[in-house]
Amino acid sequence: MTPLPPNSEVAVVGAGAMGAGIAQIAAQAGHRVHLFDTRMGAADDAKRSIGDTLRKLAAKGKVTEASAEAATGRIVAVHALGDLVSAKLVVEAIVEDLEVKRKLFRELEVVVAPQAVLASNTSSLSITAIAAGMKQPGRIVGMHFFNPAPLLPLVEVVSGLATDRAVADLVYATAQAWGKVPVHAKSTPGFIVNRCARPFYGEALRLLAECAATPATLDAVMREAGAFRMGPFELMDLIGLDVNFAVTKSVWDGYFRDPRFAPSILQQELVAAGYLGRKSGRGYFDYGEGVTKPVASTEPATPRPPRIGIAGDGVFAALRERIGRAGIAVDGPPLLFPSDGRTATEVALSLGHPNAVVYDLAHDYASCTRLAVARADSCSDAAYAAAAGALQAAGIAVSRLDDVAGLCVMRTVAMLANESADAVTQGIASARDVDLGMRNGVNYPIGPLAWADVIGLPHVDRVLRNLEAHYGDPRYRRSPLIARRSATGVPLAE
């Protein structure tokens, strides 16, 4: 695949934060960039802001002064669409409104040359719908950058029904030449990332609705056990609850209200109250002056037991080894069981004895600093104290959740893998591009499909089946790909 030559002119329509970021990327890659915005003075202001940013990068040694000045000089603020006539690639980054975007592209179609590529930075609208009615719908493609565009590596190259493959390949190669990580996706609601990431927020909101734990505790578990960069509640507060809720509703509506994407009433209430997160001063957390930041619930120090029984093979064996290295004999009937999508009480009942403590998934049991656990209703205080004491002796903080099915990290990762597998099943993207997108678009520690392979597909399959049985909710139905691969032993990430 051959990228757009560096001497080709690029145009960016929309001089907001996203448009300015895209213009900066293209200019740093060597292109002359024409930046246009309908708001008087917006393009000039954006060029000045880009220049300031590049000079700051030069002062920090991230780029040379000469390259910063050259990139700034390649950006030209223009004041009419007709000034984009020479562009070989036009990227629009305007308001997320289908009719407004379609009107813009119809106008651009008569301005630029027939060979010019017209790309939309839309994060949610159908590329097929944007291109409908165009004289040359084949040259319309999605080029979805993530905010802030100069920093985040992912670009989703989105093909509508009419998009020419050669056009998608050109944009893919150009994104690579600009130092980005591109992935191909079909034009479907949410594309790759905004679709496959829904369970990260959705399962956290369900756990909160079930009073499993506080937002601070659930965030801490996802960070310190799951190795996610941010917990779901602090991330939603950063994104903006109104934005996150709107994306969820958009994907839900786009998939004809499939229960897998159902929005949360809790989030709807916060949005209705104007509690939108950091930008309003309050969301799941209060950001007012002098407010003490809430901390995760952590079990008090408990004496270490001389011995403990721990169930779990494969990836879970690392926890047993870690506790053994702490000087605790790991033998006898199991007391600690890995989460398999059931509650601890369900595990105890299935075994026919009262004492059962379920422990959550960790990205790396050898190094995690926190684990969530749940105890069966019938579990004795002494048995629970032994389980907590063994984990603490191994240097792991213990956060007890209410006895919910699947705990926190396990159910979230299983659902992320399930959604990602469905995206592959439906031909939206390849397994490689799904995992690449989730790592580079939302900074997951490992792609969901690869993570499911590490856990073991039969276990992930079991988690999903148990969650569906527990809730009686089609939200947890298994992807056909997971059902098939768990039986055949073929990895998901292949």
Total number of domains in the chain: 2
pLDDT of residue 332: 87
Q: Which residue from 111, 105, 149 is spatially nearest to 128, judged by alpha carbons?
A: 105
Q: Per the domain annotation, does 483 fall within a domain?
A: no
Average of per-residue pLDDT values in the chain? 97
Helix (H, G, I), strand (E, B) or coil at 484: helix
pLDDT of residue 138: 98
β-partners of residue 10 are 33, 89
Neighbouring residues of 260: CB distance < 8 A, sequence distance ≥ 6: 198, 419, 474, 475, 477
Query: Would 173 be classed as within a structural domain?
Result: yes
Task: Quick: pLDDT tens for 431-482.
Answer: 999 999 999 999 999 999 999 999 999 999 999 999 999 999 999 999 999 9
Q: Helices 232-239 & 198-209, crossing angle to 10 degrees?
A: 110
Q: Which of 400, 415, 450 is the last residue of a domain?
A: 400
Within-domain flag for 192: no
Structure tokens at 450: 């690869």
Q: Are residues 319 and 173 in the same domain?
A: no
Q: Contact 338/311 with Cβ under 8 angstroms?
A: yes
Domain membership of residue 429 (yes or no) is no
pTM of the model: 0.96
Rounded-to-integer distance, Cα 265 and Cα 259, Å? 14
pLDDT in tens, 31-75: 999 999 999 999 999 999 999 999 999 999 999 999 999 999 999
Estimate to the nearest angstrom the gap between the alpha carbon of 118 and the chain centroid: 27
Say whether the peptide bond before residue 182 is cis (omega within 30 degrees of 0). no
Asked, for residue 329, whether it belongs to a domain, the answer is: yes
In a domain, 250, yes or no: no
CATH number (domain holding residue 363): 3.30.750.190
State residue 494's pLDDT score: 79
Residues (pLDDT < 50) of the chain are: none
> Is 428 a member of any domain?
no
Domain-embedded: residue 148: yes
Active site amino acids: 123, 144, 156, 194
User: Cβ distance 403 to 375 under 8 Å?
Assistant: yes
Domain assignment of residue 359, given as a range: 307-400
β-pairing verdict for 370-375 and 357-359: antiparallel
Do 314 and 183 lie in one domain? The reply is no
Q: Which of 383, 400, 417 marks a domain boundary?
A: 400
Cα atoms in the 13 Å half-sphere on the side-chain side of 317: 5
Q: What is the CATH number of the domain that holds 25?
A: 3.40.50.720
Gyration radius (Cα) of the chain, Å: 25
What was the pLDDT predicted at 331? Answer: 93
Q: Is 191 left (phi over 0), alpha (psi -120 to 50) or beta?
A: left
Q: Residues 370, 374, 379, 381: is their CA dihedral positive or negative?
A: positive
* End residue of a domain, out of 160, 187, 214: 187
Please, is 411 exposed, middle or buried when counting C-beta atoms within 10 Å of its C-beta (0-12, 13-18, 19+)?
Answer: buried
The one-character DSSP state at 277 is B
